[in-house]
Amino acid sequence: MPPRNPTIHDVAREAGASIATVSRALNGGVVSPAARDRIEQAVALLGYRRNDVARGLVTGRTGLVGVIVPDLIGPLYAQMARGIEDVLEARGMHAMVVTDHREPEAERRAVEVLRARQVDGLVLIGSSLPETELRTAAGGVPVALVQREGPQTGFPEVRLDDVAGVRAVVAHLISLGHRRIGHLAGRRRDGVERRDAFVAALRTAGLEPGPLVESDFTEDGGATAAPRLLDDGDVTAVFCGNDRMAVGLLHAAANRGIAVPHDLSVVGFDDLTWARYLTPALTTVRQPGRELGRTAARLVLVPPTDAVATPLLRTPELVVRSSTAPPRAAGAARTGAAAPPAEEVIAPPHEPTPR
């Protein structure tokens, strides 16, 4: 049997001090230099390591923030997790990440597990639990929401300003000269939001939306829904609800011999890592995942006293690459910039959506 880990008692004995003094020395309390010295030596000699479990029991705080995330495979959520760790690390805290695969039941269990572990806070990404349930499940612990699926809640929340992102896309396409623009919408809440924003932005510009197709937020979803968009001979541009659908559309277009961007402009949403490596490189809207994570972490750590400015909106950036160009039967396009940029250009952030 391995010799059990040294405890604070062992250190105290070895250093000829009381455990109280050792505890103070370890936590930066007032201790005479001599004692501190002996204690440090004892710690080094024994290889003592503080037991954070015992510490958590007495202090009532664990230095742990629970993070519930749909999955970690897609880069977006991973970046949010990274952002959360950024701010926790700065405070000597840590994240405990649990995935729920978008299943409410798994989300419920995750909250239970994390609460049982006495986390100091909870960050829920893409949560879909009803507010009342969330409130009882969370009990006393601070909660912050990121990109929640569902109606407004009383919890502090960060989300992407989808409306601003969509507006930037529409403005970009219109400035290129496109007049009949289709949309490939995802079935989730954010998909619907983007579609509505799309229609609204178009109407504001005095245009009627082209074909509006709904499908899954996946590559296959994009590919299978593609015909319903491509059959409309007048459509010169398609805005996809996310990058994954855009890839499916791109493939479907290629199979039909439709050249992008010459015959058709395509825009995505998210700016996944690989969007720039597609052929053609995808024009899309970049989600500031890491920053969303950072603000969410700050929101759990210091919950806003009053419920002002909920949800916080983070503005995305339009990333123009080579999947967009003036429409073939151009002419109107000549009014805008001279030529499409040869390399990647990031449009300045737009105004946050007024609320």
Partner DNA sequence: TTGTACGCGTTATCAC
Partner DNA sequence: GTGATAACGCGTACAA
Please report whether residue 112 would count as binding a second copy according to CB under 8 A.
yes
Partner from DNA, a second copy, none contacting 27, C-beta within 5 to 8 A by type: DNA
Please report whether residue 79 would count as binding a second copy according to CB under 8 A.
yes
In whole angstroms, how far apart are CA 252 and each of 209, 230, 232, 323, 328?
A: 22, 9, 14, 14, 19
Binding mask 53-92 for DNA (x = CB under 7 A): -xx-xxxx--------------------------------
Within 239-298, which residues bind DNA (CB under 7 A)?
none
Contacts 24+ apart (CB under 8 A), 84-93: 84/123, 84/293, 84/294, 84/296, 84/297, 85/293, 86/290, 86/293, 86/294, 86/297, 87/294, 87/297, 87/298, 87/301, 88/297, 91/301, 92/63, 93/63, 93/64, 93/65, 93/120
Partner from a second copy, DNA, none contacting 62, C-beta within 5 to 8 A by type: a second copy
Please report whether residue 17 would count as binding DNA according to CB under 7 A.
yes
Ramachandran area for residue 61 (φ above 0: left; ψ -120 to 50: alpha; else beta): beta
Q: Give yes or no for a contact between 162 and 315, defined as CB atoms under 8 angstroms apart.
A: no
Partner from a second copy, DNA, none contacting 21, C-beta within 5 to 8 A by type: DNA
Please report whether residue 27 would count as binding DNA according to CB under 7 A.
yes
Q: Which is nearer to a second copy, 94 or 179 (CB)?
A: 94
Within 231-290, which residues bind a second copy (CB under 8 A)?
247, 250-251, 254, 272-274, 277-279
Q: Give yes or no for a contact between 315 and 350, defined as CB atoms under 8 angstroms apart.
A: yes
Q: Contact positions toward a second copy, by CB under 8 A?
A: 2, 5, 47, 49-54, 56-57, 62, 71-73, 75, 78-79, 81-82, 85, 94, 96-99, 112-113, 115-118, 136, 139-140, 219, 247, 250-251, 254, 272-274, 277-279
